Amino acid sequence: MPPPLADPAVRRVLLVRMRVGLGDLLCTLPALRRLRTARPDVHVALATWPRMAPVVERLGSPDGRPLVDELVAFPGAEGIPDGPVDPAGWAAFAAAGSGFDLALQDYGDRPAANRVTAAVGARLTGGFAPTGWPVPPGAEDLYLRYPLDLHEAQRHVRLLEHLGLPAGGAVDMGFDLRSADEAEHAATLARHGLVPGGYVVLHPGASAATRRWPVARYAEVGDALAADGLAVVLTGVPGEVQPAAVAAAMRAPAVDLSGATSLGGLAALLRDAAVLVGNDTGSAHLAAAVGGRSVTVFLPGDPVRWAHPGPRHRALVPDVACAPCPHLVCPIEFRCAQTVRPDAVLAAARELAGAARQEAVA
């Protein structure tokens, strides 16, 4: 019997990916693109939270076809920390999942995600096997032991290769921009007097407190880059306090665009920036997906899993024994934030901004 993704009888696939982070879904892009290329006949559904619909809708292929044909609304479940549980939504979720040939746990190293995947009642169930989780007897070929040593984007590609997609090829993080995104971006640059390559983006926010490098350190880096002649732009999601706090702490003026761009507008802004300096969060992945340059400050996050390779990206990591760690709020004195120093971040940002200037001249 062929692996499921090499089996023509497998025509409807549900990826159970109950994530709410922009970066999480962007890191799923290479696997989705590989699946669409190898099996254009397959109906691809993604089980995730309904509020992620605008991001899922943007996961398109170069030929204009969506990479995801259907969003299956996930109502939450015990053991999945990304959102609240809506018990009334479970009947509809299970009913939607029962029409699939294959349901894959595409969430990560968490057994609760396997319970959710099994509950949808697809003809075949497989995906990631979390660390220490016993694979159901007879289903060994349908599971891949969660690969702890790979980048997040590579993990999902590896899973689909294990299940029958052709191996090899680039792990493409590409995020396609639309004409409306370019028009929005051009208007933003004109409104604020910005020019491509002449500004740096600071992204000081993050969903977890432990992933936020201190405001004062962002302000120090911003002032130094402004003294170098770069305009400073701040980005973030609506309601975040960090961008405004950094602007208030800086001596130089800054343009606060937090909450003022669409996802596509932000992508274009990051593409044309001299460099992004930000936390381990979605903006770093979006910059990588559009070919931008980034300096990412890692605190408890795992750079093996989340740092992007290549000459356009730099990862600054703390010099503490307790990192990486899983805490959303540090139970001690947040020492990792103190060991990533502004001078190191500034040096990395200046290096990449200088490369941007040289590229523009060439």
Q: Which of 104, 133, 162 is the endpoint of a domain?
A: 162
Identify the weakest region by mean pLDDT among 157-166, 285-294, 329-338: 329-338
The answer to whether position 93 is within a domain reads yes
Identify the pLDDT of residue 63: 63
Residues 144 and 25 placed together within one structural domain of the fold = yes
Over residues 117-131, the pLDDT tens digits come to 999 999 999 999 999
Tell me if 273 is assigned to some domain.
yes
In a domain, 177, yes or no: no
Indicate if 277 and 313 belong to the same structural domain: yes
pLDDT digits (tens, 9 = 90+) for 10-26: 999 999 999 888 999 99
What total number of domains does the chain contain?
A: 2
In a shared domain, residues 13 and 108: yes
Does 188 share its domain with 136? no
Q: Quick check: helix, strand or coil at residue 277?
A: strand
Alpha helices in the chain (DSSP H): 22-26, 29-38, 53-57, 90-97, 111-119, 152-162, 179-192, 215-227, 242-249, 263-271, 282-289, 303-306, 335-339, 342-361
Task: Choose between 93 and 255: higher pLDDT.
Answer: 255
Averaged pLDDT score across all residues of the chain: 93
142 & 268 share domain: no
End-of-domain residue from the set 162, 194, 223: 162
- How many Cα neighbours within 13 Å face the side chain of 131? 4
Residues 142 and 205 in one domain: no
Chain centroid, CA 255 distance in Å: 24
Same domain, 126 and 252: no
Residues 348 and 263 in one domain: yes
pLDDT in tens, 298-330: 998 889 999 998 999 999 998 888 888 887 788
Q: Which two tokens stand for residue 79?
A: 């053991």
- Distance set, CA 50 to CA 7, 19, 66, 82 (Å): 30, 10, 17, 12
| Per-residue pLDDT at 172 | 76
Residue 242 inside a domain? The answer is yes
- Please compute the mean of the pLDDT values over residues 253-273 and round it to a whole number: 96
pLDDT of residue 58: 87
Let me know if residue 174 belongs to a domain.
no
113, 235: one domain: no
Q: Is residue 173 part of a domain?
A: no
**What is the extent of the structural domain holding 27?**
4-162
Confidence of residue 62 (pLDDT cuts 50, 70, 90): low
Please check whether residues 120 and 188 belong to one and the same domain.
no
Predicted pLDDT of residue 61: 63
Higher pLDDT, 168 or 91: 91
Does residue 202 share a domain with residue 157? Answer: no
* 52/198 same-domain check: no
pLDDT (average), residues 73-89: 91
Here the CATH number for the domain that contains residue 26 is 3.40.50.2000
Arithmetic mean of pLDDT, 216-227: 98
Tell me: pLDDT of 355 over 90: no
Q: How confident is the model at residue 183 (pLDDT cuts 50, 70, 90)?
A: very high
Looking at the domain assignment, is residue 310 inside a domain? yes
Average pLDDT (176-193) is: 96
pLDDT for position 94 = 87
Predicted local confidence at residue 328, as pLDDT: 77
Nearest to 108 by CA among 21, 231, 13, 215: 21
The model's confidence at residue 103, banded by pLDDT at 50, 70 and 90, is: very high
Instruction: Please indicate, yes or no, if residue 172 is contained in any of the structural domains.
Output: no
**pTM attached to this predicted model:** 0.92
SS3 234: strand
